[in-house]
Every structure is written in C-alpha cells, then in structure tokens.
Amino acid sequence: MDTGTAYEFTPGLPRLELTQVGRGTPYGEVLRRYWQPIALSSDASRTPRQVRVLGEDLILFRTGRGSPGLLYPRCAHRGASLFYGGVERDGIRCCYHGWVFDTEGRCLEQPCEPENGLHRDRVRQPWYPVHERYGLIWAYLGPPDRKPLLPRYDVLETAAADESLITDGSGVGGGGPAFLDFNWLQHWENVLDPFHVPILHARFSGFQFSPEMALMPEVQFEYTACGVRSTQRRFLGDGRTLRRVTEVMFPNLRVVPSPRLKAGPTNILGWVVPCDDESFQIFTVAKDAAPDFLIKLRSTYGGKAWSELTPEEHQRMPGDYEAQKSQGTITLHGDDHLITTDQGVAMLRRMMAKQIRNVADGGDPPGVIFDGNDVIAIEGGNFFEDQ
C-alpha cells in the first residue's frame, strides 16, 4: 500500500506572532520600539505621497520650511484624504474645507469657520515624529514615552574623500521588484541562511553573484547583543580563505556585505521594512565612490534585468524573490523541517520570541539607545585571509 501520500497530509500553520506587523501584534510592537526608514528623503516634497508602513497608511510631505511631516491620511474634520492636500509654508491644507495641519498635527486654520476656528486647538491630526539621516526619512511609530535616539552606524559615518552615501529603495538584495509581495520575515531570515547561496545562486541560475560564492562554506552562528551573526569560511584553493560575516540586528536590519565580494568591512546596510503583513520594501544605504554601486549589485541573466525576464525564464532561473515568494504570502512555518544547516534561522526565531515576551513585559528590546553613544558598530564584511 502507498505510504506518505498527500491524502493524509495536513498543512501546518504560519507563526503569526513572528510575522504580523500591525499595532498591537506581538512583533509589531517590537518593531515599533525602533526608528524605521519609511521613504527616501527625495520622496518628501510639496507633493503629498502615500506610504504604507507596519500596516498603517500615512501621508508624507515636506513643508515650505523644509520640514518633513507624516500624518494620518483622513482629515480630522470630515475624512477627506490629505493626499489631495496643498502643502504650504507651515503645513498641509485639506482640499475639502481647507483645514491646515502642521507636521505635529496641530490645526492652524479652519477657514470656513468664524475667526478661522475658535476651537481649532482642540483638534489634533494623528501624526508621527520623523527625522532625516543618510538620505532617508525615518519615523517612530511606537509609544511616545519609549522613543529612543535615532542611531548612527560606524560604517556609514566615516567616508574616504572619494566616497559618498548612496540611498536606494528599489529592492536591492531582494532579487525582485521594489515592493515585495510576501511576508518580510521570509526575506530577513534568509540573511542567516548562507547555505542556499551555492545552490540557488550558483547551481540553479548560473553564477548570480561571483564564482567564489558557489563554494559550500563552513559556517558558524552566534548570538550577538543585538541579533544573530553568521561567519562563513570558503577555502579559495589559492591558499587564501574568504571569511564572510553576515548578520541581522533587531528589529529588521540586514547586514549583508557585497556578494560581489568587495573586501573589508561592509559598506552596505539594508532595512527590511514591512508595508504590512503581506508586503515589504528594502531601504539600502551604501558608501562607495561609484554612484551606481548599488545598481550594479543587482543580478542579471543573459544581460536581462529581473523585470525583463519572461515567466518561463523566471521559472528556469529562480533567485531569492522566486524562492521566498513561493514559500507563500506568509509561509507555513509549522511545516518547516529545520536541520543542522538551518541553525541560524532557528536561532533568530528563538530570539524574536524572547524579545516579544520582553517587550510585552515592559522591557526595552536590544539595541535601543536613550542617551550617550548613539553609534552602532557593525562587524559584517568580506575578509580575505592567508591560511
């Protein structure tokens, strides 16, 4: 008699506590304890822009004074969207009845009302604090009494004379479109999965990165104060060893040095920012002398970019996007068979569960800074060593 047929198989469940991002969800509250990049600086302008972050729809704009603002879209008066608002010197004016709000949601004018609104100070448009740094707009969507400092990163703070910062929101590292249509965690935990590299990125689809990456590495995983780190050693056959260090840092930072193997400490950081439970965007900052450094990182297939491939070519030459998206919009974690090579993924999930409990119990999650030194040290990189 046949054994193991699908007739007896019952699919497992997703681990929603790790994947959901909305307000009040377990990991959504962890994410909300950190500043998050939500847009490029250039996205904040006199033209209001809709952004979706952690399941919340918001309107981003920049006042005539140059200050970025991030407001709840439905006008506090009658609910017309501030997407249609007119940006002025000090705020944004709703198109319907002309109420004006500043970047902290205070109502400055109610032009149809007597004396421009005698009680306009009783109205507050819901808002979030924002900052600009590294060419990105950062927002804090968490509890006001826990708002930390916006951190700096050592690898982005020191640049050689010919280097500058490059900012990107087009999905560098995702292997697909700018907005990725599946759960963010499938991408983030992939950072701790160095074993897929020689299979997916070399055996399957040609050398998507560099020939050295086709070698099966020796890997060590370790917890850090702020996340999980993996150190991969590849013996290059010429007496040298490539020691490659990748890591994730809470709550959603990816530290993946160039897969083209630029030597030294990484010059790239990326944030895996959930739009909602079923989509995310990657914001990347790099430090390099070449303005097109990040664009050149992206894989091509016979000279074609990902977006130019046919469905048949996508099937034949899958990359990170195809592998991770095909796990499902939200993968069924309960079906996973984690084994020795999945140790990094298992460690990350354990640490996430631990921090969910920590935050729910009133604690501060790892890496938030309230005073003192706001510079975070990054260990990742490609290090070529003589044996």
Which of the residues 98 through 157 are near a copy of itself (CB under 8 A)? 98, 104-105, 110-114, 117, 119, 123-129, 141-145, 147
Beta carbon nearer to a copy of itself, 26 or 48: 48
Q: Which residue has the tokens 């950190």?
A: 34
Provide the minimum distance between the beta carbon of 82 and a copy of itself in the complex, in angstroms, as a whole number. 9
Provide the minimum distance between the beta carbon of 232 and a copy of itself in the complex, in angstroms, as a whole number. 12
Which of the residues 22 through 51 are near a copy of itself (CB under 8 A)? 23, 32, 47-48
Separation CA 325–CA 345 (nearest Å) = 17
Binds a copy of itself (CB under 8 A): choice among 43, 163, 276, 335: 335
Provide the minimum distance between the beta carbon of 231 and a copy of itself in the complex, in angstroms, as a whole number. 16
Binds a copy of itself (CB under 8 A): choice among 1, 160, 161, 225: 1
Which of the residues 50 through 79 are near a copy of itself (CB under 8 A)? 56, 58, 72-74, 76-79
Amino acid, single-letter form, for residue 370: F
Which of the residues 159 through 198 are near a copy of itself (CB under 8 A)? 195-196, 198
Binds a copy of itself (CB under 8 A): choice among 41, 116, 327, 358: 327
Which of the residues 201 through 230 are near a copy of itself (CB under 8 A)? 203-205, 216
Q: Which residue has the tokens 């030597």?
A: 263
Binds a copy of itself (CB under 8 A): choice among 313, 336, 364, 379: 336
Interaction of residue 238 with a copy of itself, rule CB under 8 A: no
The number of residues that bind a copy of itself (CB under 8 A) is 81
Binds a copy of itself (CB under 8 A): choice among 149, 150, 323, 369: 323
Per CB under 8 A, which region of 159-167, 176-184, 292-300, 324-332 contacts a copy of itself? 324-332
Separation CA 209–CA 316 (nearest Å) = 17
Start-to-end Cα distance in the chain: 55
Residue 75 vs residues 61, 92, 98, 299: alpha-carbon distances, Å: 15, 10, 10, 43
Beta carbon nearer to a copy of itself, 11 or 211: 11
Per CB under 8 A, which region of 246-254, 275-283, 335-343, 350-358 contacts a copy of itself? 335-343
The answer to whether 293 touches 166, Cβ cutoff 8 Å, is yes
CA-nearest of 361, 29, 27 to 188 is: 27
Say if strands 179-180 and 86-87 run parallel, antiparallel, or are unpaired: unpaired
Interaction of residue 16 with a copy of itself, rule CB under 8 A: no
The answer to whether 247 touches 230, Cβ cutoff 8 Å, is yes
Beta carbon nearer to a copy of itself, 114 or 362: 114
Q: Which residues contact 280 (CB under 8 A, 6 or more apart)?
A: 179, 180, 182, 183, 184, 187, 272, 273, 274
The answer to whether 317 touches 206, Cβ cutoff 8 Å, is yes
Beta carbon nearer to a copy of itself, 109 or 168: 109
Interaction of residue 364 with a copy of itself, rule CB under 8 A: no
Burial class (CB in 10 A: 0-12, 13-18, 19+), 52: middle
Across-strand partners of 242?
234, 384
Q: Which residue has the tokens 């804090």?
A: 140
Which of the residues 257 through 316 are near a copy of itself (CB under 8 A)? 312, 315-316
Check residue 337 and report its DSSP letter.
-
Separation CA 150–CA 40 (nearest Å) = 16
Beta carbon nearer to a copy of itself, 96 or 383: 96
Provide the minimum distance between the beta carbon of 210 and a copy of itself in the complex, in angstroms, as a whole number. 19
Separation CA 332–CA 185 (nearest Å) = 12
Binds a copy of itself (CB under 8 A): choice among 41, 81, 116, 170: 81
Provide the minimum distance between the beta carbon of 160 and a copy of itself in the complex, in angstroms, as a whole number. 38
Provide the minimum distance between the beta carbon of 174 and a copy of itself in the complex, in angstroms, as a whole number. 15
CA-nearest of 146, 130, 135 to 68 is: 130
Separation CA 270–CA 286 (nearest Å) = 9
Separation CA 182–CA 324 (nearest Å) = 8
Interaction of residue 332 with a copy of itself, rule CB under 8 A: yes
Binds a copy of itself (CB under 8 A): choice among 307, 310, 340, 387: 340
